[in-house]
Amino acid sequence: MLHPIPIPGLFITATDTDVGKTVIAGAIANYFLRQGGGSARIAVSKPVATGCVHRREGLVSEDAEFLASCADAHFPLDLICPQRYREPLAPAVAADRAAQPLDWNAIDRSLQLMSRDSDVIIVEGVGGILVPIDKEHTTLDLAKWLNLPTIIVARPNLGTLNHTLLTIETLRRAGVPIAGVVINRYPTDTPGTAEETNPRYIEKYGKVPILAIVPNEPTLKRPPLPESITSPIDMVDWSRFAAPTRNPT
């Protein structure tokens, strides 16, 4: 359904919805922008979004706005997020209720157009890896088609071992390259035993690296990103994972 991405890039998924993958995707895009001295051409993509808001110009994805701002992207929002739905539901459900089938050609066209004029691309999925996008496909299919190294954004608390290991296993069985895991919204002031031990055991049982542990920033709505987020993100050489010849796992 989609052509592979011809430039370096990363695919950002999560163990569930509302884990903060948009913040992590935006922070990684901003990392590439700053590493390039502001001159790097960074593309960001949210191929499909739900829970969009009505503006004068129509439905707008606030996640796409956030990503575009982090990357200083010069592409229009309609290209960054070509498929938008109003209700905050799984895309397949939102599309059915809106009587507006997903247009895969529009997604493919947007990704290819942005890739032609960019040095690197950060693509953010929707929900978890098995969220249905249409009647036949899930976010996993999106990851397989694009074949970009995948970053899994995970929660820090109790229950994340199961969610994260299931996501790792699903991606691995599908042959999707996994760069590693970012633990987001970590409670640095009051971590419990689960929060303190989960990173080590995700690495042990999932056999993937924990790339970064990002503190909780619940009020973050738009850039600039605080140092509490940029500091752990900047400790990772993301370009090493985004290289198109790399197959992390």
Q: How far is CA 119 from CA 40, 140, 247, in A?
A: 7, 25, 19
Q: Which of 46, 135, 144, 207 is catalytic?
A: 46
- The answer to whether 86 and 63 are in contact (CB under 8 A) is no
Phi and psi, residue 125, nearest 5°: -75, -170
Active site residue 204: no
Which of the 8 DSSP states describes residue 207? -
Instruction: Tally helices (H) and strands (E) across the chain.
Output: 10, 10
Half-sphere exposure of 157 (CA within 13 A, CB side): 8
Catalytic residues: 46
